[in-house]
Amino acid sequence: MGVLTELLKGLRATGSVLIETVTGKEMLTTRYPKEMREKPQRFHGRHVLNRYPDGMEKCIGCELCAGACPARCIYVRGKDNDPENPNSPGERFGFVYEINMLRCIFCGLCVEACPTEAITMTQLFEFSTTNRGDAIYTREELLMDTDGNVPHMFPDDPLADMKELLTADGWLKATAPAGNASYEGVQTWQGTPGPASWDPEPDQETRDS
C-alpha cells in the first residue's frame, strides 16, 4: 500500500507540471539546456591551474593536492625548474598534472591544500563524454595560458560557456583566509592574468543589503 501511495504522489507531481505547461502557468523546472541557471559563486565545477599576473605558473609540484584528495583522482609529478627559463618561482613546477574527472567528487579539498593557490574550481560542469580517456584532464587542458584564458576540453561543445571557465575565484575566496571575520573584505590572495574578478567579497552588510 505504501508503494502505491508513493507512486500516486509522483504521478500527481508530474501531472501538475504537465497541466501548468499546457495552460501556460509558471513552470517549476527550467528548460535546460536552453535555460541555464545562475551558479553560486562557490560552485564546484571543473578545475583550473592558475598563473601569476606575470605569467609564471603557480603550481610548484608539491603534490599536496594529490595527498589531500579523498578520491585519489589527482596525479602530480614535479620537475626541477630550468634556472635560465623557470616555469614557476619555486625550485620545481608541476611537470605532470592529471585529474581523473570520473573519480573526482568535487569536494574542493585540493583547493584548500594548495599552498600557492595554483588550483581552483570554475563554474563549468557540462563536460560529459562517451570516451573514458577524455575524462582524464592533463596539464594541457587545466593550465591557463599567459593571458589568463583556460582551454576547454571540448571547444566545439555547443554547451561550452567559456565564461564559466573564467570564474575560478569562488572557492579561493571561500577557503582563504580560513573564514576569519577580521579578514572580511580584504584580499589575501594573488590574482591571475585572466579577466575574471579576483576582488575580495564585500562585508556581510553590503552583501545582504
Give the C-alpha separation, 69 to 52, whole Å. Answer: 24
Residue 95 has which C-alpha cell? 611537470
pLDDT in tens, 104-160: 999 989 988 999 989 988 888 888 888 899 999 999 999 998 888 888 877 777 666
Contact 194, 162 (CB under 8 A): no
Strands 47-49 and 119-121: antiparallel
Encode 13-28: b = buried (16+ Cβ within 10 Å), e = exposed: eeeeeeeeeeeeeeee
Q: Is 13 helix (H, G, I), strand (E, B) or coil?
A: helix
Question: Residue 93 forms beta bridges with which residues?
Answer: 79
Tell me what pLDDT residue 170 has.
Answer: 55
Tell me what pLDDT residue 40 has.
Answer: 76
Give the C-alpha separation, 182 to 194, whole Å. Answer: 28
Tell me what pLDDT residue 207 has.
Answer: 61
The Cβ-side half-sphere exposure at 150, using a 13 Å CA radius, reads 30
Low-confidence residues of the chain, pLDDT below 70? 1, 19-29, 158-162, 167-181, 183-185, 195-198, 200-209
Closest by CA to 57, choosing from 32, 79, 75, 73, is: 79
pTM for this entry: 0.75
Domain ranges of the chain: 1-30, 47-194
Return the CATH fold of 47-194. Alpha-Beta Plaits (3.30.70)
How long, in residues, is the chain? 209
Burial tier of 34 (Cβ tally within 10 Å: 0-12, 13-18, 19+):
exposed
Distances (CA, A) of 175 to 42, 52, 120, 121, 150: 10, 19, 10, 12, 22
Tell me what pLDDT residue 76 has.
Answer: 97
Contact 55, 23 (CB under 8 A): no
